[in-house]
Amino acid sequence: TVGCVALDAYGNLAAGTSTGGMTNKRFGRVGDAPIIGAGTYADNNTCAVSATGHGEYFIRNVVAYDIAALMKYKNLSVKKAAEEVVMKKLVDRGGEGGVIALDKNGNVAMPFNSAGMYRGYIKNGKPVVAIYR
Amino acid sequence: SKITLAIHGGAGTITRENMTPEKEKAYREKLNEALQVGYDVLKKGGTSMDAVEATIHVMENSPLFNAGKGAVFTNEGKNEMDAAMMDGETLQAGAVASVTTIKNPISAARAVMEKSPHVMMIGDGAEAFAKTQGIELVDPSYFHTETRYNQLQQIIDKEKTQLDHDGGSSSNENIFTEGNKFG
């Protein structure tokens, strides 16, 4: 699953996610990527989020919106909100994967609870790419 | 300027032990390329929506990732893709699911958002809509990659082995490897 979140010069956030889903899937199974609030979410007042991982868990835990909700209602930073959802809530419930999240000030969070996640960000023209934990 | 862009290319049991130097180099190069393409859009005054779409195109068009050209196979041997986009300014959103002929599903998701009153379209209907919007359609064989097809065969073989020897249990080994999760 690939995803991207961006903040433009006008202060607007956007999120996108695209995936081939799960190998050997049957019965028209759909994961979290196209489910707004589960695998993809964006709100200028909070953050933009794209997720990758075991979709069923991300749907049941409404992961992308949950991160935004923690920022909105509990005033958490994007980093704390994303960590709370991916490293605590999702782990407790057996969901494996990660997210990229970006707030209106350009703060990036990229937590994942799997062994690795292909990820990167670019800020001030400097790209940073990482794969492993 | 606060312009910033972040990407992911999938999560899973991705460790140094199961990565060759060549494979790692290929992933790093493509991730860097995707970042640069999106950042260039932002730097030239493009919108975050334009940047997200352009960035995802790079990864959809690469066989390295489980999206577009590198999509995994269903049990029936098809490549069936999903995508979504959301605009943080307007809270508008669009998505497509179970599409098999749209070269870049992220563009179809954006079209659903911007050119229809709906949020999600699926399957044949989503493809018919994409066609009306001038979005590029391809033959399903475009998405076929040997690596992904072999993954499907291995999983099917594994299931057969499990059934033959122990019908009551299923191994979770590598289940979360990107592109190796199985239904």
Q: Kindly report the average pLDDT of chain A as a whole number.
A: 97
Contact B16 A48 (CB under 8 A): no
* pLDDT at position B170: 41
pLDDT of A34-43, one tens digit each? 999 999 999 9
| ipTM, interface predicted TM-score of the complex | 0.98
A53: left (phi > 0), else alpha (psi -120 to 50), else beta? left
Which residues on B lie below 8 Å from A120 (Cβ)?
A: 6-7, 31-32, 34-35
Q: What are phi and psi of B62, to 5 degrees?
A: -100, 135
Which residues on B lie below 8 Å from A35 (Cβ)?
A: 84, 95
Contact A20 B79 (CB under 8 A): yes
DSSP-derived secondary structure for B106-132: HHHHHHHHHHSS-SEEEHHHHHHHHHH
* pLDDT at position B181: 61
How confident is the prediction along chain B (183 residues), in pLDDT tens digits per residue?
Answer: 899 999 999 998 888 988 899 999 999 999 999 999 999 999 999 999 999 999 999 999 999 999 999 999 999 999 999 999 999 999 999 999 999 999 999 999 999 999 999 999 999 999 999 999 999 999 999 999 999 999 899 888 887 765 665 444 444 444 444 555 666
- The SS3 call for residue B73 is coil
Sequence-ordered list of residues with C-beta below 8 angstroms from that of B180, at least 6 positions apart, any chain:
A23, B12, B13, B151, B155, B174
When CB atoms are compared, the residue of B9, B76, B93 closest to A2 is: B9
Answer yes or no: A23 catalytic: no
* pLDDT at position B164: 61
Q: How far is A93 from chain B (nearest CA, A)?
A: 15
* pLDDT at position B42: 98
When CB atoms are compared, the residue of A2, A30, A48 closest to B59 is: A2
pLDDT of A71-121, one tens digit each? 999 999 999 999 999 999 999 999 999 999 999 999 999 999 999 999 999
Contact A100 B6 (CB under 8 A): yes
Interface test with A, best of B48, B110, B163 (most A CBs within 10 A): B48
- B89: buried, middle or exposed (CB in 10 Å: 19+, 13-18, 0-12)? middle
Nearest to B38 by CA among A37, A97, A48, A56: A48
